[in-house]
Structure 1
Amino acid sequence: MKKRHLLLNSLALLIMLSTWLGGCNSTQKEEVIYKDYDLSKPEKFNMPESLFEISGITFVDGKADTIYAVQDEEGKIFRLAWDIPKQLHAKFGKKGDYEDVAIMNGQAYILKSNGTIYALPMAEVVFEEPEQVKELKGRLPKGEYEGMYADAASGDLYVICKNCTEDNSKNSVTGYIFKPGPDSTSAPRTFSINVDQIKAITGKVSRGFRPSGLAKNPLTNDWYIISAVNKLLVVTDSQWKVKDAFPLNGNMFMQPEGIAFDKAGNLYISNEGDDLFSGNILKFKKIK
């Protein structure tokens, strides 16, 4: 009987040890997932009423002193300093569904959901009624677009589909790369994200992947793609191979529409407001 008790105690000890080791492994995996950013500990900047429906955000050359933003309804580009709710704006167009903003080489670009892009010099953004606004139509196939990124080094704009007829978002999502100059007539280059690679990490895309923003991490050259529909942050390498995917807490990420990095590698995600909460921008400091 004593031997039996010793055996049972040994088995119980082994079970407790394996459970503890399993917990340690889970913790280690969690640390790997959040090795660059702790997505549970942001600094939060609540938006003024004018940016209740904030969508895209960006910086000039990664300088975090001024945030540039657009919202879903008004044809305005807003600028404001971190944690200072006073904003200034320039009206570039009529009311419409504007989704993202990008800046490179002295030009601001605003993406409309139908793929039309508005361009104006940064020198004009300081005026409430800028005069040198150009409308770039027909650069992208018909579809619904929400995410855009400007690469100053190459002079290219990257625009990713949210819902395009050429895609089956359960299998792949297409993006387009092109020069935004008014005289550019060359067809855009394409890239694609394999949704099966996301499915292998998370089941959040069983009904398809619907991106709402993208940005390149200046320290790693990885792409970070946000989805408000899927409540998901996907990370790919520079060749668009999926490296990781992070489910986002809906209590914190109400409607994540925009994403950007500053030159120090800090991550910013903007959220549209709802009936109870104002829109906001969440800042996640790069973990050293």
Structure 2
Amino acid sequence: MKNLLFSLLMLPTGCSSPATGAADSTAAEAALPVQTVSQRTAPPAPTAAMAYDFTRPAATYAMPAELAELSGIALAGSTHITGIEDETGNLYEFNLSTQKVDRVIPFGGSGDYEDVARVGSDWFIMRSDGKLFRYSGSQTQEYETGLSFANETEGLTYDAASKTLLVACKDEPGAGLSFGQRAIYRLNPETFKAEAKPAYVLDVEAIRGSSPVAESSAGESGKKGKKKGSGKGFSPSAVAVHPVTGHVFVLSAKQNGIVELDKNGQLLAAQSLPVDLFPQAEGLAFTPSGDLYVATEAGKKSSQATIYLFRPQGL
């Protein structure tokens, strides 16, 4: 398995210099062609609606106090979810049966860690300044991805079909894209450098136009709430690839929404999340069968972060 997953044992241990953010791109980088994916500006057809009802979780898991700032999750087999929080360099192994943290694993120093992905037996952790960490159980290696704090790298996931990592940028998209767009980059499996052209491009206006509740997010578990100004933009906080369809799901904490793209990057659906369940949605993780875990940080009314399980409807 490891031989197929990034040739992990043969990777170099050195780190190259980070690339600058979108505002500081070199002339050569700015001249690179950008293959922007076109997206629908009309609302998606009913048949393209998401398969998940985000007002009705199948299970709810309250996180301990040390995970109040829960910022990313990944599955660790069928019995555990591993989470990180955005202040300390620790992995937290949460037992889904006992609903307790079984083990805390230090992998690095203090830092703004945003997401985590599992590849074989190794853990990859993304920091907001574009630096990638790989923890192999005995040591931690660091890699410069070429992305920077200007991009605000908040989402990380493993794409099994391409055997690569995907990184979602919350802020500047880079690659000559406009600020009305958001980018998801694929990392080279040998160097972990971001490819010059984004793998997926999100158009904020298209997302707003495709969401039936773009300007008035759901309030209490599906009931209409007050307008929250969700039109300000879509800022990715997590990304995950559906193991069956290959569709890409992108979460936005700031606007409290989620979108679904097909394999080619076409926008299929966009919807808001109920604010009583998701004060700040930060993490996504799929099971092999397509069940979806969504994590949220603690809100103003609750001191606990929470992970919810959602099962596909109609199955």
Which residue does the alignment assign to 1:253? 278
Instruction: From the two aligned structures, give the one with the greater strand fraction.
Output: 1
CA gap of 1:168–1:207, structure 2 versus 1, over 3 A, is: farther
1:222 aligns with 2:247: yes
Contact 1:265 1:286 in 2 (8 A): yes
Q: Alpha-carbon deviation of 1:256?
A: 0.2
Which residue does the alignment assign to 1:23? none
**Alpha-carbon distance in structure 1 between the residues aligned to 2:299 and 2:233:** 24
* Alignment partner of 2:232 out of 180, 202, 207: 207
Q: Alpha-carbon deviation of 1:185?
A: 6.2
1:283 aligns with 2:309: yes
What TM-score results when the alignment is normalised by the length of structure 1?
0.79
**Alpha-carbon distance in structure 1 between the residues aligned to 2:287 and 2:208:** 29
Which residue does the alignment assign to 1:155? 163
Q: Alpha-carbon deviation of 1:106?
A: 2.7
Q: CA RMSD for the aligned pairs?
A: 2.3
Contact 2:48 2:268 in 1 (8 A): no
* Structure 2 segments unaligned to the other structure (5+ residues): 1-43, 216-229
Q: Once the two structures are aligned, what percentage of the paired residues are identical?
A: 28
Residues 8-30 of structure 1 deviation map (CA, whole Å, 9 limit, x = unaligned):
xxxxxxxxxxxxxxxxxxxxx99
* Alignment partner of 1:140 out of 142, 147, 151: 147
Residues 150-197 of structure 1 deviation map (CA, whole Å, 9 limit, x = unaligned):
12343211001100263544x31112101344x566845423122232
Structure 1 residue matching 2:156: 3-state secondary structure: strand
**Alpha-carbon distance in structure 2 between the residues aligned to 1:109 and 1:218:** 19
Q: Alpha-carbon deviation of 1:249?
A: 1.0
Query: How many correspondences in the alignment?
Result: 248
Contact 2:49 2:269 in 1 (8 A): no
CA gap of 1:113–1:280, structure 2 versus 1, over 3 A, is: same
Q: Alpha-carbon deviation of 1:87?
A: 3.3
What TM-score results when the alignment is normalised by the length of structure 2?
0.72
Q: Alpha-carbon deviation of 1:104?
A: 1.1
**Alpha-carbon distance in structure 2 between the residues aligned to 1:96 and 1:178:** 21
Contact 1:178 1:188 in 2 (8 A): no
Q: Alpha-carbon deviation of 1:138?
A: 4.2
One-letter code aligned to 1:281: I
* Alignment partner of 2:182 out of 158, 173, 181: 173
Q: Provide runs of 4+ in structure 1 moved above 6 Å.
A: none
Residues 86-132 of structure 1 deviation map (CA, whole Å, 9 limit, x = unaligned):
331211111111100001133210000111110011xx1xxxxx4x1
One-letter code aligned to 2:67: L
Which residue does the alignment assign to 2:36? none
**Alpha-carbon distance in structure 2 between the residues aligned to 1:144 and 1:82:** 30
Which residue does the alignment assign to 1:12? none
Contact 1:160 1:175 in 2 (8 A): yes
One-letter code aligned to 1:284: F
Q: Alpha-carbon deviation of 1:237?
A: 0.6
* Structure 1 segments unaligned to the other structure (5+ residues): 1-28, 125-129
CA gap of 1:81–1:32, structure 2 versus 1, over 3 A, is: farther
Equivalent runs, 1:10-29 vs 2, <5 Å? none
For the pair shown, which has the larger CA radius of gyration, 1 or 2?
A: 1
**Alpha-carbon distance in structure 1 between the residues aligned to 2:308 and 2:159:** 23
* Alignment partner of 1:57 out of 66, 73, 80: 73
**Alpha-carbon distance in structure 1 between the residues aligned to 2:269 and 2:173:** 26
